[in-house]
Amino acid sequence: MPELAISTDKVAFLIEKAREFDVKEGVSDADSGSNAADDNMIDVLEDTGNDPVVQEITSFINAMTEEEQIDLVALMRLGRGDGSIEEWDDLRREAADGRNGRTARYLLGEPLLGDYLAEGLEAFGLSWNDERTTPVV
């Protein structure tokens, strides 16, 4: 079984944050000016373009080593079904070849990122705890 260069805790944090990001929707009440409590807090799920979750994910990924970023992309692709655990070296090589300094943007553009990362961990026989609120660095 291959080994990951990225810790399960870091991937788990990203799964949690990616799922927070995935629930965002387009602005549905652009002219709302009322109190958020009066609107049942629905505006919190709107993607306004300056989402702090995106900034948090981007900063977190950008602070990773090159090897961790390569494994993260390969793990997402493994979970997406682009290859099997037996093809891990190929997935890593493809991720390394495609590396261009925009790993966070690439991953954030992937619908279901959190689910794919979780599936990738599962292929390694690893699980994550969905009760995290802060990263383990």
DSSP line for 12-23: HHHHHHHHHHHT
* Among 136, 137, 134, 128, CA closest to 15: 128
Task: Give me 131's structure tokens.
Answer: 């009760």
Say whether pLDDT at 92 is over 60: yes
Determine the Cα–Cα distance for residues 16 and 7; give it in Å rounded to an integer: 15
The pLDDT > 70 percentage for the chain reads 73
Confidence (pLDDT) at 54? 87
* Among 126, 66, 56, 118, CA closest to 95: 66
Task: Give me 21's structure tokens.
Answer: 């990001």
| Global pTM value | 0.77
Confidence (pLDDT) at 51? 66
Helices H / strands E in the chain, number of each? 6, 0
Under DSSP, the state recorded for 97 is H
Determine the Cα–Cα distance for residues 24 and 53; give it in Å rounded to an integer: 10
